[in-house]
Amino acid sequence: MYNYNNYLQNDYVRNTTPNSMMNNNQPNLYTPQEGYDKGNLFANLYQPYKNYQPPTLKSRTEKGKLFLELSRYAFAAHELNLYLDIHPDDATMLALFNDYRVRANNLMMEYEKKYGPLTVSSDDLSSSFLWEKEEWPWEGGAN
C-alpha cells in the first residue's frame, strides 16, 4: 500500500502544493462545466494565460450535448479522484467524487442506450462496432 504521509513529506510536494490543500482545508472548486472548460476543477490552482478566456463549449446536436455533459462530469470525477489520492480522508470531497462519478456513469449509460458504445469495455459492444458505420466529424458527420 502506498504511504501518503511519505508523499506529503516530499520537498517538491511541500513546495508546490498550496497551504489550503496541505492543511486539509476544503479547496475552492469550479462547477464541472467551468472546470472542464478551464481544464482544472480547482479554482485555487487555476492560472490563466495572460488575458486568455477559455471558450464555453457548446454542441449543436442532442448527441453532442449529452456527450459534453458526460465529459464534464467524468472530468470532474477524475480531478477529485486525483485529489483523493493525496487526501484519502476528506469525506466531503469523497462524497462529491461519488456524486460526480454516479452522474457520469448514468450519463454514459444514457448515451450508450441512445447512440451506442463509447468504450471497448461497454456491454453494448456485443453486437458490432458502431463507430465504423458512422461518419467522423472530419468526414462531415455531426458531433
Tens digit of pLDDT for each residue in 32-66?
Answer: 999 999 999 999 988 888 999 999 899 999 999 99
- pLDDT at residue 105, rounded to an integer: 96
Length of the chain in terms of residues written:
143
Which of 11-25, 82-96, 106-120, 124-138 is least confident? Answer: 11-25
Q: How far apart are the first and last CA of the chain?
A: 42
**Tens-digit pLDDT profile for residues 65-93:** 999 999 999 999 999 999 999 999 999 99
What residue spans define the domains of the chain?
28-119
Q: What cell was used for 19?
A: 497551504
Contact 60, 143 (CB under 8 A): yes
3-class secondary structure, 42: strand
3-class secondary structure, 97: helix
Contacts of 22 (CB under 8 A, 6+ apart): 8, 14
Average pLDDT over residues 97-124: 89
pLDDT band at 18 (very low <50, low <70, confident <90, very high): very low
